[in-house]
Every structure is written in C-alpha cells, then in structure tokens.
C-alpha cells in the first residue's frame, strides 16, 4: 500500500510567509518614502540613516529610492497572496495557473531585489561603514536587504521546482540585467558633486545666496575661536547651512569634508571625532550641535557679539 507524499510545511506556508515579509518591507520603505517626501527626520540609533538616506544613492530619477522599494514590496505581496484568494474547489485550474505564473514572478522579483540590495549593501559598507564604523550603518537599509534575501530563499524552498535548469537560467538572466542596469544608473552618481582639477574631489552644488556683513562677521568669529563644521558634499542639510552664510562667508569659516571622495577630504578626522553623529555637525567651544543651525543659534553658542542683522534665514 503506497503512501501519498506529504507536502513539506515550508511549501504549504511559503506564500503566507513571503506575503508577510513583503508587507513588513512595504512598511519599512513606506516610512522612508514619507519622511523623504515630506521632509521629516528619520528615527535611527546611529547617524548612518541620515548619512545614507541623504546621499545620492538614495535617489533614483529624482525620486526617493525607497518609493521604488515600496512598489516592489507591494508587488511581491500581491504575487504571493493573490492565488490564496482563489478557491481551489471552485476554480482549480485558475488557481493552478495563477500559482505557476506568480511563482515565476516571485522568483524573478526576489532575485532582482536581492541583487539590487546586495549592491546597496556594498555601497553602504565601502562608503559609510568603512570610514565611519557603526555610525555608517543604516538599519532600514539592512532590514530591506534581509527581507529581500529571505524572500529569495523562500521562493527556492517554498516550491517543488521541476525544471531546475530553467530556474537557474532565469535567475542568472535577471541578476545580470539588474546588475548592469544598477551600475549604469549609478555610474555618474558623483555627478551631483562637481569635480575639478583644483579640488581633486567632488564638491556640492554651488552656493547661490549672498553674504551680508553680519554673515561674514559671524563666519570670521567662528574661525577665530576654533569652531568648525563637519559635513559631506552630498548632504542637502550641509548645503542649506552654507546657503545661510552665503557665497562670501562660506570661505571664512572652517569646514571639514567627511565624504571619502569629497574635495580635501578629512575622513580620518571625522572618524576620530566622537561627538560627530550626523551632517552637518558644528563643534563650537567644545560642544557639538547636530543639524542645520540658524545663524542666531551659532552666534549664541559661540558668544558672537557683533552685528546680528542676518539677511539669510531658514
């Protein structure tokens, strides 16, 4: 008497697990998308979230990269859970067809997301973790990469694939397309900063505001007391800070470039500065002030007694 082969537990529950992971991924990327679009601050135990999410790698075609991740996770959730909505007793053939097609889509989608996430983990490690240690870790990015890897593993284990050769071919093809496309998209990522023979490194967008006497006086005072601003050329908040000072005053205070590929980079100094938690950060009279500071705040922190009729405001 033969026994019917029992379907492994992982194959019976894989779609539900993949769907749950995709929903968590959608929540993760949805939060990042909202904070990016509406200018909120991302909650993070390290400064890595702000550093990574403010970098040129966090945007794609002028939109937050997290938005594309959100769309991908929603699609994965639909692929995983849609067949479960079809009653196999009433529409057995339809259920079978939808399962077959969505499994291929799930595998292709998970492969693409894992390859892309792997590239972003490489960028985060080399551009942020290596220079800044634990401060350069973006927990949201790591979580997304883990979600993608878990979904990829479940697409392999969650189904009894009959044609392994086709699966391998599909995986290699999708992986190569995604990798080539990713390298192409990010090939000129440093184009957000300008590189010249004089700077021998990337610099941020040009300062478009002009400086008044008060801005120049404050900048010179900050230099006289040894105050300095830590930042990165790609950091939008750092650019905002410089805009407050204006073109003429920017060159009057001490600026420390922390990006490894930035002009006159001082990455070692940034790594050795314990009070540095994000960009921009001001060190004034031994105290650290994180985030864009108004000129009035810097004047008060530094004890500036000169003209405070600042013409540039947030």
**Total-model pTM:** 0.69
SS3 80: helix
Q: Which DSSP letter does residue 58 get?
A: G
pLDDT mean across residues, the chain: 86
Q: Does position 137 have pLDDT exceeding 80, yes or no?
A: yes
Residue written as token pair 């997301």: 113
Predicted local confidence at residue 311, as pLDDT: 87
CATH of the domain at 182: 1.20.1440.130
Residue 215 near residue 311, CB atoms below 8 Å: yes
Crossing angle (nearest 10°) for helices 65-81 and 139-157: 30
Predicted local confidence at residue 136, as pLDDT: 77
pLDDT in tens, 37-58: 887 777 877 666 777 777 778 8
Torsion of CA 239, 242, 243, 249, to 10 degrees: -160
Residue written as token pair 């908040």: 237
Domain identity same for 96 and 233:
no
Q: For residue 204, what are the domain limits?
A: 196-302
Average pLDDT over residues 89-96: 82
Number of domains, the chain:
2
**CA 117 to chain CA centroid, nearest Å:** 11
Domain identity same for 267 and 245:
yes
Residue written as token pair 């995983």: 80
User: How far apart are the C-alpha atoms of 118 and 149, rounded to whole Å?
Assistant: 9
293: buried, middle or exposed (CB in 10 Å: 19+, 13-18, 0-12)? buried
131 lies in a domain? Answer: yes
Return the bridge partners of 60, or none.
63
Q: What percent of the chain has pLDDT over 70?
A: 92
> Looking at per-residue confidence, does 2 or 288 come out higher?
288
CATH of the domain at 263: 3.40.30.10
């Amino acid at each position: 008497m033969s026994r019917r082969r029992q379907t492994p537990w992982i194959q019976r529950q894989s779609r539900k697990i993949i769907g749950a992971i995709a929903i968590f991924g959608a929540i993760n990327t949805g939060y990042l998308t909202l904070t990016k679009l509406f200018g909120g601050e991302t909650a993070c135990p390290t400064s890595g979230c702000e550093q990574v999410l403010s970098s040129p790698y966090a945007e794609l075609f002028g939109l937050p990269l997290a938005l594309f991740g959100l769309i991908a996770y929603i699609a994965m959730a639909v692929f995983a859970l849609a067949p479960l909505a079809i009653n196999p007793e009433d529409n057995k053939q339809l259920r079978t067809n939808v399962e077959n097609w969505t499994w291929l889509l799930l595998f292709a989608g998970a492969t693409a997301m894992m390859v892309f996430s792997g590239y972003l983990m490489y960028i985060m490690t080399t551009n942020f973790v290596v220079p800044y240690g634990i401060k350069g870790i973006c927990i949201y990015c790591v979580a997304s990469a883990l979600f993608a890897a878990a979904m990829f593993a479940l697409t392999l284990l969650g189904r009894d694939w009959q044609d392994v050769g086709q699966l391998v071919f599909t995986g290699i093809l999708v992986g190569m397309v995604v990798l080539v496309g990713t390298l192409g998209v990010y090939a000129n990522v440093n184009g957000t900063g300008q590189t010249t023979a004089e700077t021998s490194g990337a610099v941020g967008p040009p300062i478009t505001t002009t400086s008044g006497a008060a801005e120049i006086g404050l900048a010179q005072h900050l230099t006289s007391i040894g105050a300095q601003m830590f930042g990165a050329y790609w950091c939008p908040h750092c650019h905002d800070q410089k805009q407050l000072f204006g073109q003429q005053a920017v060159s009057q205070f001490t600026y420390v470039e922390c990006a490894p590929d930035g002009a006159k980079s001082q990455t070692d100094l940034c790594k050795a500065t314990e009070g540095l938690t994000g960009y921009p950060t001001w060190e004034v009279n031994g105290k650290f002030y994180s985030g864009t500071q108004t000129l009035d705040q810097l004047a008060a922190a530094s004890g500036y007694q000169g003209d405070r009729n600042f013409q540039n405001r947030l």
